[in-house]
Amino acid sequence: MMKICSVCKIEKYFTGFSIDKSRKDGLSYVCKDCSNSRSLKYHTGHRKSNNLNSRRWYLKRVHGLTLDQFEQMRLDQNNICPLCKKEFTEEDYPIVEHCHKTDKIRGLTHNLCNLKLSDMDLDFAQNIVEYLKKVD
Protein backbone atom coordinates (compact mmCIF):
# COMPACT_ATOMS: atom_id res chain seq x y z
CA MET A 1 0.00 0.00 0.00
CA MET A 2 1.15 3.52 -0.79
CA LYS A 3 0.58 7.01 0.58
CA ILE A 4 1.68 10.52 -0.46
CA CYS A 5 3.67 12.61 2.03
CA SER A 6 2.10 16.03 2.53
CA VAL A 7 5.54 17.70 2.77
CA CYS A 8 7.70 16.21 0.01
CA LYS A 9 4.69 15.08 -2.12
CA ILE A 10 6.39 11.73 -2.85
CA GLU A 11 4.36 8.53 -2.88
CA LYS A 12 5.86 6.04 -0.42
CA TYR A 13 5.01 2.68 1.11
CA PHE A 14 3.12 2.69 4.40
CA THR A 15 6.29 1.55 6.17
CA GLY A 16 7.74 4.99 5.34
CA PHE A 17 5.23 6.65 7.70
CA SER A 18 5.00 6.63 11.49
CA ILE A 19 1.90 5.34 13.25
CA ASP A 20 -0.63 7.98 14.27
CA LYS A 21 -3.79 6.38 15.67
CA SER A 22 -5.63 9.70 15.71
CA ARG A 23 -5.65 9.78 11.89
CA LYS A 24 -8.22 7.96 9.78
CA ASP A 25 -5.65 5.72 8.05
CA GLY A 26 -3.63 5.24 11.27
CA LEU A 27 -0.51 6.84 9.78
CA SER A 28 1.19 10.20 10.07
CA TYR A 29 0.60 12.67 7.23
CA VAL A 30 4.38 13.29 7.02
CA CYS A 31 6.80 10.57 5.93
CA LYS A 32 9.56 9.45 8.31
CA ASP A 33 12.28 11.12 6.17
CA CYS A 34 10.55 14.52 6.24
CA SER A 35 9.68 14.15 9.91
CA ASN A 36 13.31 13.34 10.78
CA SER A 37 14.69 16.27 8.78
CA ARG A 38 12.16 18.68 10.36
CA SER A 39 13.02 17.38 13.81
CA LEU A 40 16.77 17.68 13.18
CA LYS A 41 16.35 21.23 11.88
CA TYR A 42 14.27 22.23 14.90
CA HIS A 43 16.56 20.67 17.49
CA THR A 44 19.69 22.08 15.86
CA GLY A 45 18.21 25.57 16.04
CA HIS A 46 17.01 25.13 19.62
CA ARG A 47 19.85 23.02 21.02
CA LYS A 48 21.01 25.57 23.62
CA SER A 49 17.55 26.23 25.07
CA ASN A 50 16.69 22.50 24.99
CA ASN A 51 19.90 21.66 26.87
CA LEU A 52 19.20 24.36 29.45
CA ASN A 53 15.63 23.14 29.98
CA SER A 54 16.84 19.54 30.25
CA ARG A 55 19.47 20.61 32.77
CA ARG A 56 16.89 22.50 34.85
CA TRP A 57 14.53 19.50 34.82
CA TYR A 58 17.31 17.04 35.74
CA LEU A 59 18.67 19.14 38.61
CA LYS A 60 15.20 19.68 40.10
CA ARG A 61 13.91 16.15 39.58
CA VAL A 62 17.01 14.20 40.61
CA HIS A 63 18.71 16.46 43.14
CA GLY A 64 16.00 18.94 44.20
CA LEU A 65 18.17 21.89 43.09
CA THR A 66 17.33 24.92 41.01
CA LEU A 67 19.77 26.10 38.36
CA ASP A 68 20.50 29.16 40.54
CA GLN A 69 21.40 26.92 43.50
CA PHE A 70 23.66 24.84 41.25
CA GLU A 71 25.42 27.97 39.97
CA GLN A 72 25.82 29.25 43.54
CA MET A 73 27.50 25.96 44.48
CA ARG A 74 29.87 26.45 41.55
CA LEU A 75 30.68 29.98 42.74
CA ASP A 76 31.15 28.78 46.34
CA GLN A 77 33.75 26.32 45.03
CA ASN A 78 35.43 29.05 42.92
CA ASN A 79 34.63 26.99 39.80
CA ILE A 80 37.14 24.35 41.00
CA CYS A 81 36.70 20.61 41.47
CA PRO A 82 37.59 19.80 45.11
CA LEU A 83 39.03 16.40 44.17
CA CYS A 84 41.45 17.17 41.32
CA LYS A 85 41.75 20.92 42.03
CA LYS A 86 41.20 21.73 38.34
CA GLU A 87 38.82 24.32 36.95
CA PHE A 88 35.46 23.34 35.50
CA THR A 89 35.24 23.98 31.74
CA GLU A 90 32.56 23.66 29.09
CA GLU A 91 33.98 20.27 28.09
CA ASP A 92 34.74 19.13 31.65
CA TYR A 93 31.70 20.59 33.39
CA PRO A 94 30.61 20.15 37.01
CA ILE A 95 28.15 17.50 38.11
CA VAL A 96 26.40 17.09 41.45
CA GLU A 97 28.38 14.81 43.75
CA HIS A 98 26.20 13.14 46.37
CA CYS A 99 26.13 10.20 48.75
CA HIS A 100 24.34 7.32 47.07
CA LYS A 101 23.20 5.94 50.41
CA THR A 102 21.67 9.12 51.86
CA ASP A 103 21.31 11.29 48.70
CA LYS A 104 23.01 14.12 50.62
CA ILE A 105 24.60 16.59 48.19
CA ARG A 106 28.26 17.11 49.03
CA GLY A 107 29.31 19.46 46.24
CA LEU A 108 30.25 19.61 42.57
CA THR A 109 32.97 17.56 40.88
CA HIS A 110 34.10 16.58 37.40
CA ASN A 111 32.34 13.48 36.11
CA LEU A 112 35.54 11.41 36.04
CA CYS A 113 36.45 12.51 39.58
CA ASN A 114 32.96 11.53 40.74
CA LEU A 115 33.26 8.11 39.11
CA LYS A 116 36.53 7.49 40.92
CA LEU A 117 34.91 8.51 44.18
CA SER A 118 31.64 6.61 43.75
CA ASP A 119 33.02 3.15 44.53
CA MET A 120 34.97 4.37 47.53
CA ASP A 121 33.86 4.70 51.13
CA LEU A 122 35.71 6.59 53.87
CA ASP A 123 37.36 3.49 55.36
CA PHE A 124 38.67 2.40 51.97
CA ALA A 125 39.97 5.91 51.24
CA GLN A 126 41.81 5.97 54.58
CA ASN A 127 43.32 2.57 53.79
CA ILE A 128 44.61 3.93 50.47
CA VAL A 129 46.20 6.94 52.19
CA GLU A 130 47.85 4.73 54.84
CA TYR A 131 49.11 2.35 52.18
CA LEU A 132 50.61 5.11 50.05
CA LYS A 133 52.31 6.67 53.08
CA LYS A 134 53.74 3.29 53.99
CA VAL A 135 55.11 2.40 50.53
CA ASP A 136 56.41 5.85 49.53
CATH code (residue 34): 3.30.60
- Looking at the fold, whether 41 and 74 belong to one and the same domain comes out as no
**Long-range pairs for 108-115: beta carbons < 8 A, 24 or more residues apart:** 108/70, 108/73, 108/74, 108/77, 108/81, 109/81, 109/82, 109/83, 110/81, 110/83, 110/84, 110/86, 113/81, 113/83, 113/84, 114/83
- Looking at the fold, whether 82 and 115 belong to one and the same domain comes out as yes
- Looking at the fold, whether 70 and 122 belong to one and the same domain comes out as yes
- Looking at the fold, whether 34 and 83 belong to one and the same domain comes out as no
- Predicted confidence at residue 115, as pLDDT, reads 87
pLDDT-flagged residues of the chain (< 50): none
| Structure confidence by residue, pLDDT tens digits, 40-64 | 888 777 766 778 888 899 999 999 9
| Domains contained in the chain, number | 2
- Looking at the fold, whether 121 and 68 belong to one and the same domain comes out as yes
Position 29 in a domain: yes
- Looking at the fold, whether 69 and 40 belong to one and the same domain comes out as no
- Predicted confidence at residue 35, as pLDDT, reads 95
- Looking at the fold, whether 35 and 6 belong to one and the same domain comes out as yes
- Looking at the fold, whether 129 and 72 belong to one and the same domain comes out as yes
Q: At what angle do helices 32-45 and 47-58 cross, to 10 degrees?
A: 80
- Looking at the fold, whether 69 and 131 belong to one and the same domain comes out as yes
Residue 95's domain is classified under what CATH number? 3.40.1800.10
- Looking at the fold, whether 68 and 131 belong to one and the same domain comes out as yes
- Looking at the fold, whether 70 and 125 belong to one and the same domain comes out as yes
Q: Whole-model pTM above 0.75?
A: no
Query: What is the domain extent for residue 35?
Result: 2-45
- Looking at the fold, whether 79 and 36 belong to one and the same domain comes out as no
